[in-house]
């Protein structure tokens, strides 16, 4: 079992920045592929970024060049640095831990980009 707790969401103006954090507990963090997903009202949940155990990363086209995912295995934490935020980035952001077919989810944190 893995417990995931997100933090760092909030209200930010267009062009601003936020850093999301996801603290994991309950298992060996370093073996999991970690990811950030988001879900906007009326839309399906989508992958934003993921980081493998090797620290290789993958990004949705819509956030490439603006968002950076990173992990600190010593702190059991994954981060999402979000820069140049746009109104269309508004969503609930969820942290995910994946090991083979097993998935764990956090409770989500709201990000609102608005002037």
pLDDT (tens digit per residue) in 66-114 = 999 999 999 999 999 999 999 999 999 999 999 999 999 999 999 999 9
What is the full DSSP assignment across 65-82? TTEEEEEETTTTEEEEEE
- Of all residues in the chain, what percent carry a pLDDT higher than 70? 100
- Average pLDDT for residues 35-60, to the nearest whole number? 96
* Angstrom distance (rounded) from CA 104 to CA 36: 12
pLDDT reported for residue 17: 98
pLDDT reported for residue 58: 97
Burial class (CB in 10 A: 0-12, 13-18, 19+), 61: exposed
* Angstrom distance (rounded) from CA 72 to CA 97: 14
pLDDT(30) > 90: no
Return the DSSP state at 29.
G
For the chain, report the end-to-end CA distance as a whole number of angstroms.
40
Q: What confidence category does residue 26 fall into, taking pLDDT thresholds of 50, 70 and 90?
A: confident
- When the pLDDT of each residue in the chain is averaged and rounded to a whole number, the result is 95
* Angstrom distance (rounded) from CA 77 to CA 88: 26
CA distances for 70 relative to 15, 56, 76, 113, angstroms: 21, 9, 11, 22
């Amino acid at each position: 079992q893995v417990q995931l707790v997100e933090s760092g969401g909030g209200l930010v103006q267009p062009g601003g920045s936020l850093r999301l954090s996801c603290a994991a507990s309950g298992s060996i963090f370093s073996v999991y592929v970690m990811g950030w997903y988001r879900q906007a009202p009326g839309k399906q949940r989508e992958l934003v970024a993921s980081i493998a155990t090797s620290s290789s990363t993958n990004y949705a086209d819509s956030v490439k060049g603006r968002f950076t995912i990173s992990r600190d295995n010593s702190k059991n934490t994954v981060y999402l640095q979000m820069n140049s935020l746009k109104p269309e980035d508004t969503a609930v952001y969820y942290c995910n831990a994946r090991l083979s077919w097993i998935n764990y989810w956090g409770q989500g944190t709201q990000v609102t980009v608005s002037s």
